[in-house]
Amino acid sequence: MSDAASDPPLPPEATGRSPGRGRLTGRRILVVGAGQNDYGLADAPIGNGRAISALCAREGATVFGSDVSAGNLTGTSSLVAAEGSTFLAAVSDVADPDAVGALVADATDALGGLDGVVYNVGIGGGRGLDGTDAETWDRVFAVNLRGAMLVARAVLPVVDDRSSIVFISSVAGIKPGTRIPAYDSSKAGLVGLMRHVAVEGERRGIRANVVAPGLMDTSLGRVASAGRPSRTKAPIPLGRQGTAWETAYAALFLLSDESSYVTGQSLVVDGGLTTLR
């Protein structure tokens, strides 16, 4: 890792200061996992779901966001409002099939249709195989992978032709490191699910792709680093952790027409960690 004092300043895209360019003008985007738990951090950095929601609004989309907690959505609503857009929101538990169906129906009705969906949900549990019981395994998979399937199953019949579905996975699904087998396995499973969704959507031009962030400086990332200090010392080729805005710009690319010929792919946003180290 490089010396932060000598590092060049981050580009405005990486810090959320770049102006919008109308890349999603008129789009109607559902962000599942749009909220953020600050975990009591006084200086909590922005998380992936909040950054994705705000950036979509900045680029001209109307955003419907969901989270398991109403409190987690408050800050997202404020950021979207600051972009001059209205944030429509609902509390929903992706582990509940009925709740997922109601969420997709509500979002579709509220927005008058959907042409973009982001699944940004993930929990962990257990440490190592010896520390992971069946109940923990099933709970993680119910949220991280089964929830993604339920959302995809619900949105495929109702999204417009040539829509885009983006799943937020993790480099933990590519390379071991978290020591949480349920998390790693569920995030790897998202890639298989994404490919199937892409196949089912191809006749209508519906694209499905994955964004796999690496070590990101988010609230959850800081909590993870507190529990595993070696995380901050990972030999990232670009010399720093990423920001949630950098995850958001990857998702934005896949939601926009700039990626109109991209489907069934994984876009890894990790500073080169998985391929160069």
Residue 32: CATH number of its domain: 3.40.50.720
Identify whether 154 is part of a domain: yes
How many domains does the structure of the chain reveal?
1
Identify whether 18 is part of a domain: no
Asked whether the predicted pLDDT for residue 73 surpasses 60, the reply is: yes
**Exposure string (b/e) for 49-74, b if CB count within 10 Å is 16 or more?**
bbbbbbbbbbbbbbbbbbbbeeebbe
Asked whether the predicted pLDDT for residue 57 surpasses 90, the reply is: yes
Alpha carbons within 13 angstroms on the beta-carbon side of residue 48 total 27
Banded model confidence at residue 276, pLDDT cuts 50, 70, 90: very high
Q: What is the pLDDT of residue 222?
A: 86
Identify whether 7 is part of a domain: no
3-class secondary-structure state, position 31: strand
Phi then psi for residue 247, to 5 deg, are: -65, -45
Q: What is the pLDDT of residue 39?
A: 87
Q: Which residues pair with 213 in a beta bridge?
A: 269
Identify whether 3 is part of a domain: no
Q: What is the pLDDT of residue 227?
A: 74
Q: Which residues fall within 8 angstroms of residue 97, CB to CB, at 6 or more apart? A: 150
Boundaries of domain holding 152: 25-276
Q: What is the pLDDT of residue 134?
A: 97
Express each pLDDT in 148-188 by its tens digit: 999 999 999 999 999 999 999 999 999 988 899 999 999 99
Asked whether the predicted pLDDT for residue 75 surpasses 60, the reply is: yes
Tokens read off for 155: 């949105």
Q: Which of 39, 183, 249, 261 is catalytic?
A: 183
Total residue count of the chain as it appears in this document = 277
How many CB atoms neighbour CB 267 within 10 A?
A: 18
Q: Which residues pair with 166 in a beta bridge?
A: 118, 209
Q: What is the pLDDT of residue 224?
A: 77
- Please give the mean pLDDT across all residues of the chain: 94
Express each pLDDT in 188-218 by its tens digit: 999 999 999 999 999 999 999 999 999 999 9
Identify whether 32 is part of a domain: yes
Place of tokens 């559902």: 30
Identify whether 94 is part of a domain: yes
Q: What is the pLDDT of residue 63?
A: 98
Amino acid residing at 130: D
Q: Which residues fall within 8 angstroms of residue 24, CB to CB, at 6 or more apart? A: 56, 59, 60, 61, 116, 252, 255, 256
Banded model confidence at residue 6, pLDDT cuts 50, 70, 90: low
Is 39 noted as a catalytic residue in this protein?
no
